[in-house]
Amino acid sequence: MKPSGSGPFREFVMRDPAPPVRLHVRCLRPFCGHEALLDPVPLFGAARDGWPPDGLSRRFVCGCGARAAHVSRAVGRANRDNPCGWL
Ligand SMILES: [Zn+2]
């Protein structure tokens, strides 16, 4: 950090770029519980309005065959190797 000389208060603080947003997808089938953290960009493109909204989604298929999943935004390392088998 360079000293800024603008006084003790700064309105803007340089931060690292925001970490990429992932889609946290959790199977809603009882007793399945599979979940995965997916990188939505290769799946749905970079435009976030093309991503599935938070909440119930039927755009994913779990390895158990269920198509009902709960989607939410999350931050973290994408987990492609999850055995869940989301499509
Ligand atoms: Zn499942």
Residue ranges per structural domain of the chain: 21-75
Residue 72 Cα distances to 7, 10, 11, 27, 63, angstroms: 40, 33, 31, 12, 19
Q: Ligand 1 centroid vs 12 CA: distance in angstroms? A: 44
Q: Ligand 1 centroid vs 30 CA: distance in angstroms? A: 8
Q: Ligand 1 centroid vs 19 CA: distance in angstroms? A: 28
Of how many residues is the chain composed?
Answer: 87
Q: Which residues of the chain have pLDDT under 50?
A: 81, 83
Report DSSP state, residue 52.
Answer: P
- The pLDDT of residue 72 is 94
Q: Ligand 1 centroid vs 77 CA: distance in angstroms? A: 21
- The pLDDT of residue 14 is 65
- The pLDDT of residue 83 is 45
- The pLDDT of residue 81 is 47
Q: Ligand 1 centroid vs 34 CA: distance in angstroms? A: 5
